[in-house]
Amino acid sequence: LDYNRVYRLKAKNPNKFIGINGGIQSLEEALQHIEHVDGAMLGRAAYHTPGILAGVDAAFYGDTPKTFDFAALIDAMAEYAARHIERSGRLGHVTRHMVGLFH
């Protein structure tokens, strides 16, 4: 990942939207990138630790921090998993994407 190369690309193309993706692990890192480019993506970080997304609006827009209702999310996912199984789906198809909730 060559972030400086992306920064230079943005400097040469100030009127084009340039976002950055890859290896960004925290909102703090994303904010650092936003000083140089128009957007920063939290791909794997959001997948592996989805609670990070609860802080996006506060970090980027100064909004009141949101609370992460873990119990409500687990309840909703349990209902979703039950419906998935009723339609002949496998539980693992749902739960494998929930592992990050427990980190």
Same domain for 97 and 47:
no
pTM: 0.77
* pLDDT tens per residue across all 103 residues of the chain: 899 999 999 999 999 999 999 999 999 999 999 999 999 999 999 999 988 999 999 999 999 988 888 899 999 999 999 999 999 999 999 999 998 888 7
Same domain for 88 and 51:
no
The closest alpha carbon to 42, from 53, 58, 57, belongs to 53
Same domain for 57 and 40:
yes
Same domain for 39 and 10:
yes
Alpha helices in the chain (DSSP H): 3-12, 27-34, 43-48, 56-61, 70-86, 91-95
Residue numbers of the domain that contains 53: 3-61
Query: How many structural domains comprise the chain?
Result: 2
